[in-house]
Structure formats: structure tokens, C-alpha cells
């Protein structure tokens, strides 16, 4: 993997995270960055998923909601890493790993918000429904984008 592809995908994750920003109660925001994280993991593997997902998303948070950047770095990095484990797997694994990845992302934000100073249990529960919606959109969109890419390249 060339370094400039990793940098480009990291920027792409950051940009897709910033394009649609719908604020949610705890101070975070709904975005489409998870679609790109799942795609990056599926297409390029766990290393690129980890770097692009964690750093790209954390950079977007630094621009808009810096308090969430440390949580995002870990939660989205793990999302990309786990999605990327499916790269060398079979068709079933290309669904299961990204599904597990978005579940881990939601859990990471829930636990991170709960234990983070100035956020706490109320924010963790308030953000949970929107994080679940974001996970569903990220999983579905990432799988659709990856499926479209595979279909185009097979023909």
C-alpha cells in the first residue's frame, strides 16, 4: 500500500465526516464518515481501515467537536480495523466483520462518553440511538459502496 493512498483515504474519511453534520444531544453529530470507513476496511484491509478510520474521523472532530476526538480515534479506528479483517475472508465474513465493527464503534462511543469527564452516563444514553442509526447507515452504505465497486470491476 502506497503512503499517498493511505493519506488520501484518511482525508476522504475526514471530508465525508464533515460533509453531513447533524448535531445530536450530547454535543456530537451524525455523519456519513462510517460509510467510507467500512468501505476502506473492506477494500484496503485492516491497516488502512485503522489509520483512515481513526485519524480521518478524529481530525474531523478536532475541527468541530474536539472533546470527542480521543473517543473517536479509538472507536473509529477499531471500526476500520475490524471491517478490514474481512478483506481476505469469504463473502459471509464481508458482512459479519463490518457488522461487528459498527457494533464496536457504538459500544466505544457509549463507554467512552460514559467515562469521559464532562460527558457521563446521560450523554452516553442520549447519544446511543443516533449512534445506532449512524452505525446502520455506515454498515449499509459501506457494504453497498463495496458491492458496487466489486460489480463494476468484475464486468
Can you say how many angstroms the Cα of residue 70 is from the centroid of all Cα atoms in its chain?
A: 14
Domains of the chain as residue ranges with CATH: 3-19+32-154 (1.10.1760.20)
pLDDT, residue 26, reads 62
**Threshold 0.95, pTM exceeds:** no
Q: Splitting the chain (155 residues) into consecutive groups of 10 residues, what average pLDDT does each group show?
A: 94 94 74 96 97 97 90 97 95 96 97 90 90 95 95 86
Q: What's the pLDDT at 123?
A: 86
Q: The dihedral of CA 68, 72, 74, 75: what is its sign?
A: positive
What does the pLDDT read at residue 92? Answer: 95
Sign of CA dihedral 117, 120, 126, 129: positive
Q: Which pLDDT belongs to residue 27?
A: 64
Distance of CA 23 to the CA centre of its chain: 17
Amino acid at each position: 500500500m502506497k503512503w499517498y493512498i493511505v493519506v488520501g483515504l484518511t482525508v476522504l474519511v475526514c471530508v465525508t465526516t464533515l460533509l453531513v453534520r447533524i448535531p445530536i444531544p450530547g454535543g456530537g453529530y451524525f455523519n456519513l464518515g462510517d460509510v467510507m470507513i467500512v468501505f476502506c476496511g473492506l477494500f484496503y484491509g485492516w491497516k488502512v481501515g485503522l489509520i483512515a478510520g481513526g485519524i480521518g474521523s478524529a481530525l474531523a472532530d478536532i475541527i468541530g467537536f474536539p472533546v470527542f476526538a480521543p473517543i473517536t480515534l479509538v472507536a473509529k479506528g477499531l471500526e476500520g480495523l475490524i471491517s478490514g479483517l474481512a478483506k481476505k475472508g469469504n463473502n459471509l465474513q464481508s458482512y459479519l466483520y463490518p457488522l461487528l465493527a459498527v457494533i464496536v464503534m457504538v459500544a466505544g462511543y457509549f463507554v467512552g462518553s460514559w467515562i469521559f469527564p464532562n460527558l457521563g452516563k446521560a450523554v452516553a444514553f442520549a447519544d446511543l440511538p443516533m449512534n445506532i442509526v449512524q452505525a446502520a447507515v455506515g454498515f449499509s452504505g459501506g457494504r453497498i459502496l463495496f458491492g458496487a465497486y466489486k460489480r463494476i470491476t468484475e464486468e
